[in-house]
Amino acid sequence: MTSAMDSGAEMGQGAAAASSPDERETQKRVRPIPRITIQAFCEDQGTADILQQAAADRRLAKAHVTVQMGGIPAAVAFYQNAATPNLIIVESVYDREPLLQDIDRLAEVCDMGTKVIVIGHVNDVVLYRQLIARGVSDYLVGPIKPLQVMEAIADIYVNPEADPVGEVIAFVGAKGGAGSSTVCHNTAWAMSRALRSDVVIADFDLPFGTAALDFNQDPMQGIAEALSDPDRLDAVLLDRLLAKCSDRLSLFAAPGTLEWEYDLEPRACNTVVDVVRQNVPYAALDVPHLWTSWAKDVILQADEVVITATPDLASLRNTKNLIELIRPARANDGPPHLVINQVGVPKRPEIPVADFAQAVGLNPTAVIEFEPHLFGTAANNGQMIEEINDKSRQAEIFHELAFVLTNRVEPKQQTRSLFAPILSKLNMKKTG
């Protein structure tokens, strides 16, 4: 068996380093922000640039963000004659007293319901307390980072108790038949069991999707009905449209017929993913191998992206192109995950895993051997790999993938404090 999960260290020099667990924790903690209006008034061009970077992030795709210069005085002048937005972000380079005086002037022109985040340059706890006492939502000490700003905004507008937001993992194949759906279904199944968490598989391959077959379910209108009238989709309808595969795993199944043509709208896909995200802790999106505006959008908006590739030249080119498109478009996220699948087909020449990793600049998160009997039996029986052989290395890989993709540590390996995410958050706030 070729190296797997943690073999990254031996891979090619050119391969990109993944984010650290703490960085990934922050990336995940920061949830997509609703359709609010945000206006920022900066003093420093560097801060304005960071806010522009945040504004271009997928998490702020729905919000309307404008960034201008002039700090608090410019904001006060601007709102003399204009209604204030949902959120104002102001930067000040002053110390406690002059900054508080500026904030008091801003408060006089603020409408009810407008929130304020202050970016300052002094690390002063007394100032922080006085700002909070005046109703300021957060005080960040510069120099700031894009994720830090997004986290501060998400803390105000995305309340995890009232509005649980799930994590979305998009699976896409580097070429047709690479095994992306197989990886998606087996990993989602492992997630539902190992994490004891609810998972929905959404099969976006409407005419040819195999999720219903793989779970031995009758094909249903499920996802097609949701996509045809996305604004009608709510928690109740979602429940009705989902096929239950097990206690914790449900399927947003594709019709799997050619009775209709399916020209999907990016907005419809987005709305459907949003509703799933609001109602289920984990969504595994089975995205077919095609390049349309909706498929691109679904991939770029996901929390994690998994590219499944076979070790050949066409997959290599496509993987490289996908990574080169995904990385800059998701600058505040970790790189996509690469699964190299069907390694070791007898008599078929292939690109060695290390060379593949070096060429695409990314270490594989998993490498899966070609096992026609195991995978063929599972596919024909409508079963998962673990159900066919729970001792197989392949079942173990899907189990490990479930933990890696959700940034969980397997209980037996857990060495970090349970409070680590909270501590790292406090630490980030403190050090700014």
In the complex, which residues of this chain contact ligand ATP (CB under 6 A)? 173, 176-182, 205, 210, 288-289, 341-342, 368, 370-372, 375, 379
Q: Which residue is nearest to Mg ion (CB)?
A: 181
For the bound state, the minimum distance from the C-beta of residue 283 to ligand ATP, rounded and expressed in Å, comes to: 17
For the bound state, the minimum distance from the C-beta of residue 172 to Mg ion, rounded and expressed in Å, comes to: 9
Nearest of 110, 113, 134, 131 to residue 122 by alpha carbon? 131
The listed partner (Mg ion, ligand ATP, none) that binds 341, CB under 5 to 8 Å by sort, is: ligand ATP
For the bound state, the minimum distance from the C-beta of residue 396 to Mg ion, rounded and expressed in Å, comes to: 23
The listed partner (Mg ion, ligand ATP, none) that binds 151, CB under 5 to 8 Å by sort, is: none
410 Cβ contact list (under 8 Å, min separation 6): 194, 400, 403
SS3 206: coil
Q: Which CB atom, from 184 or from 404, has the smaller least distance to Mg ion?
A: 184
Strand order in the sheet with 366-369: 243-244, 249-252, 199-203, 282-287, 167-173, 304-309, 337-343, 366-369
The listed partner (Mg ion, ligand ATP, none) that binds 388, CB under 5 to 8 Å by sort, is: none
376/147 Cα distance (integer angstroms):
44
For the bound state, the minimum distance from the C-beta of residue 185 to ligand ATP, rounded and expressed in Å, comes to: 8
Q: Which CB atom, from 167 or from 371, has the smaller least distance to ligand ATP?
A: 371
Q: Which CB atom, from 88 or from 309, has the smaller least distance to ligand ATP?
A: 309
DSSP characters over 96-131: HHHHHHHHHHHHHHPPTT-EEEEEES---HHHHHHH
The secondary structure of residue 8, as a DSSP letter, is G
Interactions with Mg ion, residue window 147-206 (CB under 5 A): 181
CB–CB of 194/403 below 8 Å? yes
Q: Which CB atom, from 25 or from 387, has the smaller least distance to ligand ATP?
A: 387
For the bound state, the minimum distance from the C-beta of residue 26 to ligand ATP, rounded and expressed in Å, comes to: 31
Q: Which CB atom, from 382 or from 421, has the smaller least distance to ligand ATP?
A: 382
For the bound state, the minimum distance from the C-beta of residue 4 to ligand ATP, rounded and expressed in Å, comes to: 12
Question: For residue 170, what is the enclosing H or E element?
Answer: strand 167-173
Backbone φ/ψ region at 361: left (φ over 0), alpha (ψ -120 to 50), beta: left
Nearest of 183, 173, 153 to residue 32 by alpha carbon? 153
Total residues found in the chain within this entry: 432
Q: Is 310 in the site for Mg ion (CB under 5 A)?
A: no
Q: Which CB atom, from 14 or from 177, has the smaller least distance to ligand ATP?
A: 177
For the bound state, the minimum distance from the C-beta of residue 27 to Mg ion, rounded and expressed in Å, comes to: 27
Using alpha carbons only, give the angle 349, 355, 359 rounded to the nearest 5 degrees.
120
The listed partner (ligand ATP, Mg ion, none) that binds 182, CB under 5 to 8 Å by sort, is: ligand ATP
Q: Is 365 in the site for Mg ion (CB under 5 A)?
A: no
Q: Which CB atom, from 128 or from 375, has the smaller least distance to Mg ion?
A: 375
Question: For residue 148, what is the enclosing H or E element?
Answer: helix 146-157
Sites of contact with Mg ion (CB under 5 A): 181
